[in-house]
Amino acid sequence: MDNQLSFFDLTDRYSQLSKKGDPLERLDEVIDWKEFDDILAYVKKKGREARECHSNAGRKSFGSRTMLKVLVLKHLYNLSFEQVEYQLKDRLSFMRFVGVGLNGIVPDENTVRNYFEQYKETGAWDKLIRTFDKILEKAGYKAQEGSIVDASIVEAPRQRNTPEENRTIKEGNIPEEWEKVPNKLRQKDTDARWVQKRGQNYFGYKLHTLVDVKHKFVRKAMVTDASVHDSNVYGKLTKGDKNDVKRVHADSGYLNSKDALPQTYEEVVCEKGYRNHPLTDEQKRNNRKKSHIRARVEHVYGFIFGSMGLFIRTIGMARAKATIMGSVFVYNISRFATLVKGPKRPREKCAQPA
């Protein structure tokens, strides 16, 4: 018996997915991918220059918009390169989102990895975040009602190093034994750091964000190693903030920050109690009022870490930053898809390799 789907069977299956509320279909309807063409052209140009390959021989490369969508899927579902290829071949919703038919050619894991590297080398995710912020402003989603500053640890695979090796790494050097064994060195992350939080030890990096109160979009993001204190990037995050209300909400970790805010800003920071100097009842009441607004940032991290499952699988700061900033971009476009109203934008047909 022939179990292959006919054209009409496939159309019916897609219709059923739409009725169930395919989130990828909604995302594709509200995002105008053409808006990112200039950045994608820059990435493609730099990629060709890096490969020193200008020949048109062989199979045509995949379209830049197609590969952006592929990377969006990778970050949205926290997939490995291998899993991206597998899921593109297996899931109809993925195929429809990317624009690949059942008989179409799917990017293999090496192609996905190469594009990930190109985005890393060109800082594409930072550029995409800035461009999308301009798109948000044009669409009426300007930063409003103040900003929220917060940070969260992004864990990476733990390194089993000796105390002596860790001391050498903190000094900015590489242990001599590792240099003698290149294969071992390639598996060692010398950029990530340990940090203790509420009695628990964590290893990895840290995502610092500036989120607008009204719409909960990430307006600015920075990545550091996990040991950098939140307050050390306080002023850098708020620099250039376009929010209509110059008010920043933060937790007690930002008190007495060395990287201070500009004087024009109003600072709303939860107070902290100390040994023998507990908070008064009035301070506790004030903190509850302040936390009511500041808690909105937890919805952002809930999506990035809970729904998207952000975790670092790569080695080194450059790749970790690409992973984290890619996740921030995907959060923003996903958030936009939940907020935007009005008629659906016609779905564009992503060309096969072009």
Which pLDDT does position 54 carry in this prediction? 56
Range of the domain at 312: 140-156+192-339
pTM of the model: 0.89
Distances in whole angstroms, Cα of residue 95 to Cα of each of 70, 112, 257, 290, 327:
10, 15, 48, 45, 21
For residue 74, is it within any domain? Answer: yes
Same domain, 99 and 216: no
> How many domains does the structure of the chain reveal?
2
Which pLDDT does position 152 carry in this prediction? 96
Same domain, 150 and 76: no
CATH number at residue 216: 3.30.420
Same domain, 94 and 147: no
For residue 295, is it within any domain? Answer: yes
Which pLDDT does position 353 carry in this prediction? 43
Which pLDDT does position 116 carry in this prediction? 97
Which pLDDT does position 271 carry in this prediction? 79
DSSP three-state, residue 354: coil
DSSP state of 228: S
For residue 178, is it within any domain? Answer: no
CA distance linking residue 292 with residue 280, whole number of Å = 19
DSSP three-state, residue 220: strand
Average pLDDT for the chain? 87
For residue 296, is it within any domain? Answer: yes
Q: Which helix H or strand E contains 290, and what residues bound it?
A: helix 281-294
Same domain, 239 and 93: no
DSSP three-state, residue 235: helix
**Could you list the pLDDT tens digit for every one of the 354 residues in the chain?**
456 666 567 788 878 888 888 899 999 999 999 999 999 999 999 887 776 655 565 567 789 999 999 999 999 999 999 999 999 999 999 999 999 888 788 999 999 999 999 999 999 999 999 999 999 999 999 999 999 999 999 999 998 888 888 888 888 888 888 888 888 888 899 999 999 988 899 999 999 999 999 999 999 999 999 999 988 898 888 888 889 988 999 887 777 676 677 777 888 888 788 888 888 888 888 888 888 888 899 999 999 999 999 999 999 999 999 999 999 999 999 999 999 875 555 556 554 444
Closest to 251 (Cα-Cα) out of 301, 310, 188, 295: 295
Same domain, 152 and 23: no
Same domain, 230 and 299: yes
For residue 349, is it within any domain? Answer: no
Same domain, 84 and 148: no
Same domain, 145 and 196: yes
For residue 351, is it within any domain? Answer: no
For residue 354, is it within any domain? Answer: no
Same domain, 40 and 149: no
What residues have CB less than 8 Å from 217, skipping those under 6 apart?
A: 133, 136, 141, 143, 211, 332, 335, 336
Same domain, 70 and 113: yes
Same domain, 276 and 209: yes
For residue 167, is it within any domain? Answer: no
Closest to 158 (Cα-Cα) out of 199, 189, 119: 189
Same domain, 279 and 199: yes
DSSP assignments along 16-43, one per residue: HHHHHT-HHHHHHHH--GGGGHHHHHHH
Q: What is the 3-state secondary structure (H, E, C) of 57-104?
A: CCCCCCCHHHHHHHHHHHHHCCCCHHHHHHHHHHCHHHHHHHCCCCCC
Which pLDDT does position 352 carry in this prediction? 45
